[in-house]
Amino acid sequence: MMDIQALLERVITQLGYELVDFEMSNRGKMLRLFIDKPQGITIDDCVLVSNHVSHLLAVEHDVDYDRLEVSSPGLDRVLKKASDFMRFVGTRVKIKLRVPMDGKKNFVGVLQGLDDGEILVERDGATLRFAMANVEKARLDPEL
């Protein structure tokens, strides 16, 4: 799985996009890619990446899948990398923990950044610190 991720990351970056996330589901038969770029993602971007990746995997890397989906990460994009947590400082986020903190697993607040491997989130005037290793899922939480 890591080899596929590294390959996708390299290829998609070369095309001028960011690989936000990817999933293999339905017993590995569906490959779903989430891509982004500063100006946002259009359908043409998805088509370009889809065509390039499907050709690359068929010709060079014999990855067994039946369906490839490429889309934008959406308004509630997932945050995974350290660079994500720095890029979206000042925005509202949802954090779900693996192990509860003060009896809770779910938190919503304003992202303040990273400090020594911990995600900083301001909530109700206090700064909460979450170890990245304890974060099951982090997403943007746009107020619509």
Residue 58 lies inside a defined structural domain of this protein: yes
Residue 68: its pLDDT value, please?
93
Residue 15: its pLDDT value, please?
96
Other CB atoms within 10 A of residue 73 CB? 19
Q: Which residues of the chain have pLDDT under 50?
A: 1
Q: Which domain holds residue 107?
A: 82-140
Residue 76 lies inside a defined structural domain of this protein: no
Distance CA 132, CA 113 (A): 12
Residue 28: its pLDDT value, please?
67
Asked if 36 and 7 sit in the same domain, the reply is: yes
- Quote the DSSP letter at residue 66: S
Regarding beta strands 92-101 and 67-71, do their DSSP bridges make them parallel or antiparallel, or are they unpaired?
Answer: unpaired
The neighbouring-strand residues paired with 110 are 92, 122
Distance CA 48, CA 56 (A): 12
Regarding beta strands 118-123 and 104-115, do their DSSP bridges make them parallel or antiparallel, or are they unpaired?
Answer: antiparallel
Residue 77 lies inside a defined structural domain of this protein: no
Asked if 50 and 21 sit in the same domain, the reply is: yes
Distance CA 78, CA 70 (A): 15
Asked if 7 and 63 sit in the same domain, the reply is: yes
Distance CA 114, CA 120 (A): 6
Asked if 9 and 64 sit in the same domain, the reply is: yes
How many domains does the chain divide into? 2
Per-residue model confidence as pLDDT tens digits over 117-139: 899 999 999 999 999 999 999 99
